[in-house]
Amino acid sequence: MISRLPLDEQLPALRTTLSHNPTLLTVLDRAATLALPGWYLTAGCLFQTIWNVTTGRPPEQGIKDYDLFSYDPADLSYEAAIDTFAATTCCLGIRLDPHDHWRVYAPHGLADIFNLVLRPNPVLAPREVYETKAERWQRQWPELRVLGWPETD
């Protein structure tokens, strides 16, 4: 099981899994030629490809868009922006460095993504956003284990 591997062994598995999506690879290759500062391909196109491959669906099924984030010194860093996504599973970014090296930003690791666990990011995202996305995603991937919003005192 990929999620139980040490992180340095999960990274090649991540690349292998994402490589099943030809559109994702094309976007990654083209973005690398744009010379954007500190860019990342991020969000749904990544974790949804993993969910699709893990559950035996076509790799591109249900993916609506491919988001590129780029660093703007007058704004948040790209990592800070990725950290604000509604679920920890969504907090993932990948870019190509020179020589076809994948740089991966995954502040919450990769285990939940490969285990089909959707976990809220309550510190940075509104509950309503998480619950709306979770409901939609669970309709498309019924195998997802959706964790509820943490109760507060």
pLDDT of residue 81: 77
Buried b (16+ CB within 10 A) or exposed e, 104-133: bbbebebbbbbebbbbbbeeebeeeebeeb
* Residue-by-residue pLDDT tens, the chain, 153 positions: 676 767 778 889 999 999 999 999 999 999 999 988 888 999 899 999 999 999 999 999 999 999 998 876 666 666 677 888 889 999 999 999 878 889 999 989 999 999 999 999 877 778 899 999 999 999 999 999 999 988 765
Residues 6+ apart with CB under 8 A from 73: none
pLDDT of residue 38: 82
Reduce the DSSP state of residue 51 to 3 states and report it.
Answer: helix
pTM of the full structure: 0.89
pLDDT of residue 75: 63
CA 92 to chain centre: 4
